[in-house]
Amino acid sequence: MWTIEAMNKEAQNISELPSGRPMQTQFDTGLDYPRLGSVTFRRGTLTDNQEALFEQHWPRLGRILADELIDVDAWFGRSGHPTVVEIGSGTGTSTAAMAPLEADTNVIAVELYKPGLAKLLGSVVRGEIDNIRMVRGDGVEVLARMIAPESLDGVRIFFPDPWPKARHHKRRIIQSGTLNLIASRLKAGGVLHVATDHADYAEWIDELVNVEPSLEYKGWPWADAPLLTDRQVITKFEGKGLDKDHVIREYLWQKRDEREEKTGEK
């Protein structure tokens, strides 16, 4: 028979990732992908209340990186709804603010660090937000291993780590290979939305806006975007950037419909 202590330990185990170098997919496209370093996790950063909420609700609302495609309809308990993946959801400020405005959309928030997921989970529970689920893991690996091709209506990457030192630029998530991977997971007409307040990173992205042929760059703003693009609130990292007079740059792409293009050529 399971004791309360054993049940709590099991709940913690299913939310934990092993430390050290994580799983990393080997792509054969010849494109550039972010390289992962070792992953270490800060401990003791959750409050007792956060721990209790995590133990109670994570088994239903969250999962960790695995070599298993997510059955979105089963997880959300509904079928035929648009699905968006947010990579690097942080503390979930934008995630929790946007989700109630797009209640018809399934939102999968991906984040490595448990304290951020705990804050988002708390917002989900307290706000009775039904359309958010969470995955703990690296965003590229989650896309590669857990998301089916051509299954997403949107991908969001808000204020990714800029890795400002030149020797760390290879760790930036916006790369030619990542854009190719994202495009492969988007349905035709699906939207990629990126935001950054780091000037050098914006220049980096500017060089890549047209690198993926299956993504049509729409710029910003895009009034006819089929998904919500208003982030609603100023996130913690965004606020810090604004305090330093940083300029926020936003980018939108749409997955091309190859069938329509072929039809148009005839």
Q: Is 138 annotated as a binding residue?
A: yes
Q: Amino acid identity, residue 190?
A: G
Q: Is 150 annotated as a binding residue?
A: no
Q: Is 235 annotated as a binding residue?
A: yes
Q: How far apart are CA 208 and CA 238, in angstroms?
A: 22
- List, for residues 59-112, the tens digit of each pLDDT value: 999 999 999 999 999 999 999 999 999 999 999 999 999 999 999 999 999 999
Of 184, 138, 121, the closest CA to residue 17 belongs to: 138
Residues paired with 191 in a beta bridge: 154, 254
172-196: buried (b, 16+ CB within 10 Å) or exposed (e) per residue? bbbbbbbbbbbbbbbbeebbbbbbb
As a three-state string, the secondary structure of 36-98 is CCCECCCCCCCCHHHHHHHHHHHHHHEEECCCCCCCHHHHHCCCCCCEEEEECCCCCHHHHHH
Q: How far apart are CA 221 and CA 97, in angstroms?
A: 20
Supply the pTM of this predicted model: 0.88
Tell me the three state secondary structure of residue 167: helix
Which stretches of the chain drop beneath a pLDDT of 50?
Answer: 1-12, 44, 266
pLDDT of residue 146: 97
pLDDT of residue 266: 42
pLDDT of residue 262: 64
pLDDT of residue 46: 85
Burial class (CB in 10 A: 0-12, 13-18, 19+), 203: exposed
Q: Is 111 annotated as a binding residue?
A: yes
Of 242, 159, 171, 241, the closest CA to residue 195 belongs to: 159
pLDDT of residue 38: 59
pLDDT of residue 174: 98
Q: Is 187 left (phi over 0), alpha (psi -120 to 50) or beta?
A: beta
- List, for residues 14-28, the tens digit of each pLDDT value: 667 766 556 789 999
pLDDT of residue 44: 47
Q: How far apart are CA 190 and CA 254, in angstroms?
A: 6
Report the first-to-last Cα separation within the chain, whole angstroms: 67
Tokens of 114: 């448990």
| Cα torsion angle, 78, 67, 85, 258, sign | negative
DSSP state of 136: E
Tokens 């070599």 belong to which residue?
67
- The catalytic residue positions are 161
Instruction: Return the C-alpha torsion angle 64, 30, 220, 102, nearest 10.
Output: -30
Q: How far apart are CA 86 and CA 106, in angstroms?
A: 11
Q: Is 28 annotated as a binding residue?
A: no
Give the strand pairing for 249-255 and 215-217: antiparallel
pLDDT of residue 247: 86
In the chain, what are the domains? 45-234+243-263 (3.40.50.150)
Q: Is 266 annotated as a binding residue?
A: no
pLDDT of residue 224: 96
